Chains A and B, each alone.
Chain A
Amino acid sequence: MDKIPILRLGAYLLVSIQVDLYDRLALTLEADLVQMVNKTGAKGVLIDISAVSIVDSFMGRIIGNIASMSKILDAETVVVGMQPAVAITLIELGLPLKGVHTALDMEKGMNLLKTMIGDSSGEEDQETDPDYDDTIA
Protein backbone atom coordinates (compact mmCIF):
# COMPACT_ATOMS: atom_id res chain seq x y z
CA MET A 1 0.00 0.00 0.00
CA ASP A 2 1.17 3.54 -0.76
CA LYS A 3 2.38 5.77 2.01
CA ILE A 4 3.38 9.39 2.18
CA PRO A 5 6.81 9.77 3.77
CA ILE A 6 7.17 11.90 6.89
CA LEU A 7 10.57 13.48 7.43
CA ARG A 8 11.85 14.51 10.82
CA LEU A 9 14.00 17.60 11.09
CA GLY A 10 14.81 18.45 14.69
CA ALA A 11 11.60 19.51 16.37
CA TYR A 12 9.71 19.49 13.08
CA LEU A 13 7.95 16.96 10.93
CA LEU A 14 7.84 17.65 7.20
CA VAL A 15 5.41 16.14 4.76
CA SER A 16 5.28 16.85 1.07
CA ILE A 17 2.21 15.44 -0.62
CA GLN A 18 3.17 14.76 -4.22
CA VAL A 19 0.02 13.02 -5.40
CA ASP A 20 -3.67 13.71 -5.25
CA LEU A 21 -4.83 12.11 -2.05
CA TYR A 22 -7.35 9.36 -2.25
CA ASP A 23 -9.25 8.51 0.89
CA ARG A 24 -7.20 5.63 2.24
CA LEU A 25 -3.92 7.43 1.65
CA ALA A 26 -5.21 10.49 3.47
CA LEU A 27 -6.43 8.44 6.42
CA THR A 28 -3.08 6.65 6.67
CA LEU A 29 -1.25 9.97 6.61
CA GLU A 30 -3.48 11.32 9.37
CA ALA A 31 -2.82 8.30 11.59
CA ASP A 32 0.93 8.24 10.85
CA LEU A 33 1.41 11.93 11.47
CA VAL A 34 -0.44 12.00 14.75
CA GLN A 35 1.49 8.96 15.91
CA MET A 36 4.79 10.57 14.89
CA VAL A 37 3.97 13.80 16.71
CA ASN A 38 3.19 11.76 19.78
CA LYS A 39 6.30 9.59 19.55
CA THR A 40 8.84 12.29 18.70
CA GLY A 41 7.35 15.14 20.71
CA ALA A 42 7.61 17.27 17.58
CA LYS A 43 6.66 20.92 18.06
CA GLY A 44 5.74 21.70 14.49
CA VAL A 45 4.24 19.99 11.46
CA LEU A 46 4.74 21.39 7.96
CA ILE A 47 2.55 20.00 5.20
CA ASP A 48 3.36 20.95 1.61
CA ILE A 49 0.32 20.59 -0.66
CA SER A 50 1.68 22.49 -3.65
CA ALA A 51 1.29 19.39 -5.87
CA VAL A 52 -2.28 18.72 -4.75
CA SER A 53 -4.89 19.86 -7.26
CA ILE A 54 -8.06 18.75 -5.47
CA VAL A 55 -9.02 19.10 -1.81
CA ASP A 56 -12.62 18.10 -1.17
CA SER A 57 -14.47 18.14 2.15
CA PHE A 58 -13.11 14.75 3.16
CA MET A 59 -9.48 15.71 2.63
CA GLY A 60 -10.07 19.16 4.05
CA ARG A 61 -11.39 17.55 7.16
CA ILE A 62 -8.31 15.34 7.43
CA ILE A 63 -6.02 18.36 7.19
CA GLY A 64 -8.10 20.01 9.90
CA ASN A 65 -7.95 16.86 12.03
CA ILE A 66 -4.18 16.69 11.76
CA ALA A 67 -3.94 20.29 12.93
CA SER A 68 -6.35 19.89 15.84
CA MET A 69 -4.91 16.60 17.06
CA SER A 70 -1.37 17.94 16.79
CA LYS A 71 -2.46 20.97 18.78
CA ILE A 72 -3.65 18.72 21.60
CA LEU A 73 -0.20 17.14 21.53
CA ASP A 74 1.29 20.63 21.70
CA ALA A 75 2.43 20.91 18.08
CA GLU A 76 1.51 23.59 15.55
CA THR A 77 0.60 22.76 11.95
CA VAL A 78 1.29 24.91 8.91
CA VAL A 79 0.01 24.03 5.44
CA VAL A 80 2.12 25.48 2.65
CA GLY A 81 1.77 25.95 -1.08
CA MET A 82 -1.98 25.64 -1.48
CA GLN A 83 -2.82 26.34 -5.12
CA PRO A 84 -5.03 29.43 -5.53
CA ALA A 85 -7.70 27.38 -7.36
CA VAL A 86 -7.80 24.97 -4.43
CA ALA A 87 -8.10 27.82 -1.93
CA ILE A 88 -10.99 29.38 -3.89
CA THR A 89 -12.76 26.05 -4.18
CA LEU A 90 -12.41 25.28 -0.48
CA ILE A 91 -13.99 28.59 0.45
CA GLU A 92 -16.93 28.05 -1.91
CA LEU A 93 -17.33 24.52 -0.67
CA GLY A 94 -17.73 26.03 2.79
CA LEU A 95 -14.55 24.73 4.33
CA PRO A 96 -12.18 27.59 5.05
CA LEU A 97 -9.80 25.31 7.05
CA LYS A 98 -10.31 27.03 10.37
CA GLY A 99 -7.45 26.64 12.82
CA VAL A 100 -5.00 25.65 10.12
CA HIS A 101 -2.17 28.08 9.52
CA THR A 102 -1.09 28.56 5.93
CA ALA A 103 1.98 29.98 4.24
CA LEU A 104 3.03 30.49 0.64
CA ASP A 105 6.01 28.17 0.57
CA MET A 106 8.19 25.89 2.69
CA GLU A 107 10.54 28.63 3.79
CA LYS A 108 7.79 31.00 4.89
CA GLY A 109 6.01 28.09 6.53
CA MET A 110 9.10 27.15 8.47
CA ASN A 111 9.55 30.74 9.62
CA LEU A 112 5.93 30.88 10.71
CA LEU A 113 6.34 27.66 12.68
CA LYS A 114 9.48 28.97 14.36
CA THR A 115 7.70 32.16 15.36
CA MET A 116 4.72 30.28 16.73
CA ILE A 117 6.83 27.84 18.66
CA GLY A 118 9.32 30.45 19.81
CA ASP A 119 12.21 28.28 18.70
CA SER A 120 15.61 29.44 19.87
CA SER A 121 17.71 26.51 18.71
CA GLY A 122 20.60 27.62 16.54
CA GLU A 123 19.57 31.25 16.74
CA GLU A 124 21.16 33.90 18.84
CA ASP A 125 18.47 36.54 18.83
CA GLN A 126 16.83 35.29 22.01
CA GLU A 127 20.06 35.47 23.95
CA THR A 128 20.72 39.00 22.81
CA ASP A 129 17.11 40.09 23.10
CA PRO A 130 16.91 42.63 25.94
CA ASP A 131 13.34 41.52 26.72
CA TYR A 132 14.62 38.04 27.29
CA ASP A 133 17.09 39.30 29.93
CA ASP A 134 14.31 41.25 31.58
CA THR A 135 12.10 38.23 31.97
CA ILE A 136 14.73 36.15 33.67
CA ALA A 137 16.12 38.98 35.77
Chain B
Amino acid sequence: MTLSLSKDTIQVTKEQDVVFLKNRVKETAVKIKMGLVNQTRLLTAASELVRNMMRYANGGACIIEVVSSGRANGVRLTFSDSGPGIPDLDAAMRDGFSTGKSLGLGLPGTKRLMNEFNIKSKVGEGTVITIIKWN
Protein backbone atom coordinates (compact mmCIF):
# COMPACT_ATOMS: atom_id res chain seq x y z
CA MET B 1 0.00 0.00 0.00
CA THR B 2 1.36 3.36 -0.99
CA LEU B 3 0.06 6.28 1.07
CA SER B 4 0.26 9.87 -0.04
CA LEU B 5 1.48 12.15 2.75
CA SER B 6 1.56 15.47 0.93
CA LYS B 7 0.49 16.74 -2.43
CA ASP B 8 1.44 19.74 -4.47
CA THR B 9 0.31 20.52 -8.03
CA ILE B 10 2.41 22.66 -10.34
CA GLN B 11 1.32 23.92 -13.74
CA VAL B 12 4.08 24.00 -16.30
CA THR B 13 3.66 26.15 -19.37
CA LYS B 14 6.84 28.22 -19.61
CA GLU B 15 10.56 27.93 -18.92
CA GLN B 16 10.37 29.60 -15.49
CA ASP B 17 7.79 27.00 -14.46
CA VAL B 18 10.30 24.30 -15.34
CA VAL B 19 12.92 25.83 -13.05
CA PHE B 20 10.32 26.25 -10.30
CA LEU B 21 9.19 22.63 -10.65
CA LYS B 22 12.74 21.29 -10.47
CA ASN B 23 13.36 23.32 -7.32
CA ARG B 24 10.20 21.99 -5.70
CA VAL B 25 11.11 18.40 -6.56
CA LYS B 26 14.54 18.94 -5.08
CA GLU B 27 13.11 20.47 -1.88
CA THR B 28 10.75 17.55 -1.51
CA ALA B 29 13.56 15.01 -1.93
CA VAL B 30 15.71 16.85 0.60
CA LYS B 31 12.79 17.03 3.03
CA ILE B 32 12.46 13.25 3.15
CA LYS B 33 16.26 12.90 3.38
CA MET B 34 16.66 11.13 0.07
CA GLY B 35 20.26 10.12 -0.61
CA LEU B 36 22.30 12.18 -3.04
CA VAL B 37 22.47 9.63 -5.84
CA ASN B 38 18.71 9.00 -5.69
CA GLN B 39 18.08 12.74 -5.62
CA THR B 40 20.16 13.07 -8.75
CA ARG B 41 18.27 10.23 -10.42
CA LEU B 42 14.93 11.77 -9.49
CA LEU B 43 15.84 15.25 -10.68
CA THR B 44 17.27 13.93 -13.91
CA ALA B 45 14.08 11.94 -14.53
CA ALA B 46 11.96 15.00 -13.74
CA SER B 47 14.07 17.03 -16.14
CA GLU B 48 13.47 14.48 -18.92
CA LEU B 49 9.72 14.25 -18.36
CA VAL B 50 9.11 17.96 -18.02
CA ARG B 51 11.08 18.59 -21.19
CA ASN B 52 8.96 16.03 -23.05
CA MET B 53 5.80 17.63 -21.70
CA MET B 54 6.92 21.08 -22.88
CA ARG B 55 8.23 19.91 -26.20
CA TYR B 56 5.62 17.44 -27.34
CA ALA B 57 2.52 18.61 -25.49
CA ASN B 58 3.04 22.35 -24.98
CA GLY B 59 3.10 21.95 -21.22
CA GLY B 60 0.94 20.31 -18.60
CA ALA B 61 0.95 19.73 -14.89
CA CYS B 62 3.05 17.87 -12.36
CA ILE B 63 1.84 16.57 -9.01
CA ILE B 64 4.58 16.18 -6.42
CA GLU B 65 3.77 13.81 -3.55
CA VAL B 66 5.59 12.43 -0.58
CA VAL B 67 4.56 8.79 -0.41
CA SER B 68 5.03 6.13 2.19
CA SER B 69 4.96 2.38 1.94
CA GLY B 70 5.76 0.50 5.10
CA ARG B 71 9.28 1.45 6.09
CA ALA B 72 10.11 3.45 2.98
CA ASN B 73 9.39 7.04 2.06
CA GLY B 74 9.62 8.33 -1.43
CA VAL B 75 8.69 10.99 -3.93
CA ARG B 76 5.99 10.36 -6.50
CA LEU B 77 5.71 12.62 -9.54
CA THR B 78 2.75 12.54 -11.89
CA PHE B 79 3.17 14.38 -15.17
CA SER B 80 -0.02 14.86 -17.11
CA ASP B 81 -0.69 16.71 -20.32
CA SER B 82 -3.45 17.08 -22.87
CA GLY B 83 -1.07 16.86 -25.80
CA PRO B 84 -1.25 14.62 -28.88
CA GLY B 85 -0.58 11.39 -26.97
CA ILE B 86 1.85 8.65 -27.98
CA PRO B 87 0.59 6.34 -30.74
CA ASP B 88 3.08 3.51 -30.15
CA LEU B 89 4.16 3.21 -26.52
CA ASP B 90 6.40 0.20 -27.14
CA ALA B 91 8.35 2.19 -29.69
CA ALA B 92 8.52 5.29 -27.49
CA MET B 93 9.94 3.19 -24.63
CA ARG B 94 12.78 1.91 -26.82
CA ASP B 95 16.26 3.40 -26.48
CA GLY B 96 16.94 5.72 -29.37
CA PHE B 97 13.35 6.20 -30.53
CA SER B 98 12.60 9.87 -31.09
CA THR B 99 10.17 11.86 -33.18
CA GLY B 100 12.00 15.00 -32.06
CA LYS B 101 15.42 14.24 -33.60
CA SER B 102 16.95 13.88 -30.16
CA LEU B 103 18.53 10.96 -28.34
CA GLY B 104 15.39 9.02 -27.50
CA LEU B 105 16.61 8.24 -23.99
CA GLY B 106 14.15 10.27 -21.92
CA LEU B 107 11.44 7.65 -21.41
CA PRO B 108 13.53 4.46 -21.29
CA GLY B 109 16.26 6.20 -19.28
CA THR B 110 13.73 7.53 -16.77
CA LYS B 111 12.32 4.05 -16.35
CA ARG B 112 15.81 2.76 -15.51
CA LEU B 113 16.43 5.56 -13.01
CA MET B 114 13.16 5.10 -11.09
CA ASN B 115 11.79 2.40 -8.80
CA GLU B 116 8.37 2.67 -10.35
CA PHE B 117 7.37 3.92 -13.75
CA ASN B 118 3.91 3.95 -15.26
CA ILE B 119 2.83 5.48 -18.54
CA LYS B 120 -0.64 5.89 -20.00
CA SER B 121 -1.27 7.66 -23.24
CA LYS B 122 -4.14 8.08 -25.60
CA VAL B 123 -3.88 9.65 -29.02
CA GLY B 124 -5.79 12.92 -29.09
CA GLU B 125 -6.22 12.99 -25.31
CA GLY B 126 -2.84 13.18 -23.71
CA THR B 127 -0.23 11.42 -21.64
CA VAL B 128 0.12 10.64 -17.94
CA ILE B 129 3.41 9.40 -16.53
CA THR B 130 3.85 8.46 -12.88
CA ILE B 131 7.22 7.76 -11.32
CA ILE B 132 8.33 6.92 -7.79
CA LYS B 133 11.78 7.06 -6.28
CA TRP B 134 12.07 5.58 -2.81
CA ASN B 135 14.71 7.17 -0.65
Contact = CB atoms under 8 A, between A and B. Distances in A.
A56 B44 CA distance: 5
B43 A93 contact: no
B33 interface: no
Interface in B20-75: 22, 36-37, 39-41, 43-44, 47-48, 51
Interface of B: 15, 18-19, 22, 36-37, 39-41, 43-44, 47-48, 51, 95, 102-103, 105-106, 108-110, 112-113
Given A56-B48, A85-B37, A86-B40, A93 B102 contact: no
B40 A93 contact: no
Contacts of B112: 92-94
Contact of B113 (A22, A24, A60, A89): A89
A85 B40 CA distance: 6
B58 to A, nearest CB: 15
Interface string A27-59: 000000000000000000000000001111110
Contacts of A108: none
A58 B51 contact: yes
Interface of A: 20, 22-24, 53-58, 60-61, 83-86, 88-89, 92-95
B37 A93 contact: no
A57 B55 CA distance: 14
Contacts of A85: 36-37, 39-40
Given A54-B40, A94-B112, 13 more contacts: A20-B22, A24-B15, A56-B47, A57-B105, A58-B102, A83-B40, A84-B37, A88-B41, A89-B40, A89-B41, A93-B109, A93-B113, A94-B109
A95 B47 CA distance: 15
A70 B123 CA distance: 41
A53 B102 contact: no
Given A58-B102, A88-B37, A53 B43 contact: yes
A57 B43 CA distance: 12
Nearest to A83: B40
Contacts of B41: 88-89, 92
A28 to B, nearest CB: 14
B125 to A, nearest CB: 26
Complex A-B, nearest 9 residue pairs according to Cβ-Cβ distance, in ascending order: A93-B109, A85-B40, A56-B47, A57-B105, A85-B37, A57-B103, A94-B105, A92-B112, A89-B40
